C-alpha cells in the first residue's frame, strides 16, 4: 500500500511540475493579454493542484491540509483571473481578435455612465 | 430556494466551518474537537447571513448525487482543458483564433452563477470576462460559432443542466 | 534527496524563469500582473514540495498564508486597474 501511494505521488508530482512549466511557457509565448491569461490560469491551476495532491499522497498525514490548499487554489485562481480580465478591459486593453468582440458595447456603455 | 430559514443557514455554516477546522488540526483529540465546535459556532453566528444562500437543503441525497456528478464532469473538463492548452502552447504555429462571445444563463442564484463562471474558466479554451445580470461574456481561444444558441450549447450546457438541478 | 526531486525542482525553476521573463518584458501592467499571479501559484506549489523534501510540516502553513496573500494582492491590483479603489 505504502509503495503504491508513493509511486502514485511520484506520478502526480511529475504531472504537476510539467503543467506548471507549460503554464509559464504559455504565458511567455502567447501573443496578447487574454490568451496569456487563458494559458496561465488553466495550466498553473491544474499543475499546482496535481503537485500538491502528489505530496499529500506521499505523506498521508498531511493529506487533509493539502486538500484544503487544493480547494483554495481551485476557487481563488479562476476568481483572480476573472477580476484581472475585467480590470484589464476597463483600461482599454482590446483583445486580439478576427471574429467577434461581444463585450465591447458593454464596456463602452460603462465608460459613458462614468463620464456622466 | 428563496425562503431558507436562518436556523438552516446557521447549521450549514457551522457544519462547513467545523469540517474545515478538522482538516486544519488533522486530529480527533477530544479537546481539539470541543474547541473546534465552540469556535466554529461563534464564527457561524457572526457570519451565516453572508456565508450561504442554500442552507441544509443541499445535503439531501439527490443533491449530493448531483454534486458528485458535477465534480466528476468538472474534473474531466479540467484535464481535457489542460491537454488542449498544452497542445496549443507546444505547437510551433500557435493555432489560435480568439474572440469574446456572449450567452444568456437560466440560473438565478448568485452563488450558482459564480460556480458556473469558475467552471467555465477552468474548461477548454474559455474563460469568463464579465457577468452582467444573466449575460455571460466569455473569451474563447478558438471561436467556432458566434450566435448565442450554439455558443450556449458548446460551452455551458453540460454544466448548467446539473447546476439547475442542484440550486433551483 | 534523490535525483527525482532535483529534476522536479529544475522543471519548476524553469517555469519560474519563463514567468519572470514575461514579468520583466511587460508590455502592459496587466501582463505583469498575470505573470505575478502565475509566479505566486508556482511559489505555493514549490513551498509544499520543499516542505516534503526537507520534512518540515510548517512549510504547509506558510504556503497557505502565501496563497491567501497572493490572491488578495492580485484582487487589489485588478480593482485598481478597474478604477474602483
pLDDT above 80: residue A60 = yes
C-alpha C73/C-alpha A75 separation (Å) is: 16
Q: Does the beta-carbon distance from A28 to C74 stay under 8 Å?
A: no
* Ranges of H-type helices in C26-57: 29-53
Report the domain count for chain A: 1
Pairwise pLDDT comparison (B99 vs C8), residue with the higher score: C8
ipTM of the complex: 0.85
| pLDDT for the residue B130 | 82
| pLDDT for the residue B53 | 67
C-alpha A67/C-alpha A63 separation (Å) is: 6
User: Among C60, B81, C10, which Cα is nearest to A26's?
Assistant: B81
C-alpha A4/C-alpha A8 separation (Å) is: 6
C-alpha C9/C-alpha C40 separation (Å) is: 16
Give strand ranges (E) for chain B.
99-104, 126-132, 135-140
The whole-chain average pLDDT of chain B stands at 80
Residue of A7, A15, A16, A17 to mutate, interface with C, max C Cβ within 10 Å: A17
If phi over 0 gives left and psi between -120 and 50 gives alpha, with beta otherwise, what is residue B27? beta
Pairwise pLDDT comparison (B1 vs A48), residue with the higher score: A48
Residue A99 — very low, low, confident or very high, per pLDDT cuts 50/70/90?
low
| pLDDT for the residue B98 | 79
pLDDT per position as a tens digit, A72-89: 888 888 888 888 888 888
B116, B156 Cβ separation under 8 angstroms: yes
Strands B99-104 and B126-132: unpaired
Residue carrying C-alpha cell 447571513: B49
| pLDDT for the residue B75 | 86
C79, C85 Cβ separation under 8 angstroms: yes
pLDDT per position as a tens digit, B55-99: 676 777 788 888 888 888 888 888 888 888 888 888 887 777 778
pLDDT above 80: residue B151 = no
Q: Does the beta-carbon distance from C78 to A93 stay under 8 Å?
A: no
Q: How far off is chain B from A44, nearest CA to CA, in Å? A: 9
Instruction: Please give the DSSP secondary-structure letter assigned to residue C56.
Output: -
Cell of C29: 501592467
Question: Which domain, by its residues, includes A9?
Answer: 2-115
pLDDT per position as a tens digit, C53-72: 888 888 888 888 898 898 89
Peptide bond into C27 cis (omega under 30): yes
Instruction: Please give the DSSP secondary-structure letter assigned to residue B99.
Output: E
If phi over 0 gives left and psi between -120 and 50 gives alpha, with beta otherwise, what is residue C8? alpha
pLDDT above 80: residue B167 = no
- What's the Cα-to-Cα distance from B47 to each of A60, B53, B141, C43, C50, rounded to whole Å? 33, 12, 39, 31, 36
Q: Does the beta-carbon distance from C30 to A91 stay under 8 Å?
A: yes
Residue B1 — very low, low, confident or very high, per pLDDT cuts 50/70/90?
very low
| pLDDT for the residue C1 | 62
C50 touches A: beta carbon within 8 Å: no
C-alpha C51/C-alpha A62 separation (Å) is: 11
Q: How far off is chain A from C75, nearest CA to CA, in Å? A: 6
Q: How far off is chain A from B46, nearest CA to CA, in Å? A: 22
C-alpha C68/C-alpha C66 separation (Å) is: 5
In B, what residues contact A, Cβ < 8 A? 20, 22-24, 26, 78-79, 81-82, 85-86, 88-90, 94, 96-102, 117-118, 121-122, 125, 127-130, 132, 137, 139, 141, 143, 146
C12 touches A: beta carbon within 8 Å: yes
Residue of A99, A107, A109 to mutate, interface with B, max B Cβ within 10 Å: A99
Cell of C75: 484582487
- For residues A20, A21, A23, A29, the Cα torsion angle rounded to the nearest 10 degrees is 170
- What's the Cα-to-Cα distance from A88 to each of A37, A81, B3, C39, C83, rounded to whole Å? 11, 10, 38, 19, 10
pLDDT above 50: residue B22 = yes
| pLDDT for the residue A116 | 61
Q: How far off is chain C from A9, nearest CA to CA, in Å? A: 11
C-alpha A5/C-alpha A8 separation (Å) is: 5
Q: Where in chain B are the domains?
A: 6-58, 60-167
pLDDT per position as a tens digit, A1-30: 778 888 888 899 998 898 888 888 888 888
| pLDDT for the residue A115 | 64
pLDDT above 70: residue A59 = yes
pLDDT above 60: residue B2 = no
Amino acid at each position: 500500500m505504502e509503495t503504491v501511494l508513493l509511486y502514485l505521488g511520484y506520478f502526480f508530482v511529475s504531472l504537476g511540475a510539467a503543467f506548471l512549466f507549460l503554464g509559464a511557457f504559455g504565458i511567455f509565448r502567447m501573443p496578447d493579454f487574454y490568451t496569456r491569461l487563458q494559458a496561465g490560469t488553466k495550466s498553473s491551476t491544474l499543475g499546482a493542484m496535481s503537485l500538491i495532491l502528489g505530496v499529500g499522497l506521499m505523506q498521508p498525514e498531511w493529506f487533509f491540509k493539502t486538500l484544503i490548499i487544493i480547494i483554495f487554489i481551485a476557487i481563488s485562481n479562476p476568481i483572480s483571473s476573472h477580476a484581472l480580465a475585467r480590470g484589464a478591459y476597463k483600461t482599454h486593453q482590446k483583445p486580439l481578435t478576427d471574429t467577434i468582440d461581444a463585450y465591447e458595447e458593454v464596456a463602452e456603455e460603462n465608460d459613458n455612465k462614468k463620464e456622466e | 430556494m428563496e425562503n431558507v430559514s436562518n436556523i438552516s443557514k446557521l447549521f450549514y455554516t457551522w457544519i462547513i466551518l467545523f469540517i474545515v477546522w478538522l482538516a486544519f488540526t488533522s486530529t480527533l483529540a477530544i479537546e481539539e474537537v470541543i474547541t473546534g465546535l465552540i469556535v466554529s459556532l461563534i464564527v457561524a453566528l457572526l457570519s451565516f447571513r453572508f456565508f450561504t444562500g442554500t442552507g441544509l437543503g443541499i445535503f439531501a441525497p439527490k443533491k449530493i448525487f448531483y454534486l458528485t456528478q458535477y465534480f466528476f464532469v468538472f474534473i474531466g473538463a479540467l484535464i481535457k482543458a489542460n491537454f488542449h492548452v498544452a497542445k496549443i502552447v507546444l505547437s510551433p504555429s500557435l493555432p489560435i483564433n480568439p474572440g469574446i462571445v456572449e450567452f444568456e444563463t437560466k440560473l438565478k442564484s448568485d452563488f450558482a452563477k459564480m460556480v458556473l463562471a469558475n467552471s467555465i474558466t477552468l474548461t477548454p479554451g474559455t474563460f469568463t470576462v464579465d457577468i452582467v445580470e444573466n449575460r455571460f461574456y466569455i473569451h474563447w481561444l478558438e471561436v467556432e460559432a458566434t450566435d448565442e444558441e450554439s455558443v450556449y450549447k458548446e460551452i455551458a450546457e453540460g454544466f448548467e443542466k446539473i447546476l439547475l438541478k442542484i440550486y433551483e | 534527496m534523490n535525483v527525482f526531486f532535483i529534476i522536479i525542482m529544475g522543471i519548476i525553476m524553469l517555469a519560474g524563469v519563463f514567468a519572470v521573463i514575461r514579468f520583466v518584458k511587460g508590455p502592459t501592467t496587466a501582463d505583469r500582473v498575470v505573470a505575478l499571479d502565475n509566479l505566486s501559484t508556482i511559489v505555493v506549489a514549490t513551498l509544499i514540495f520543499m516542505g516534503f523534501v526537507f520534512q518540515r510540516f510548517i512549510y504547509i502553513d506558510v504556503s497557505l498564508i502565501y496563497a491567501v496573500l497572493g490572491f488578495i494582492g492580485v484582487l487589489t491590483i485588478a480593482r485598481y486597474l478597474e478604477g474602483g479603489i
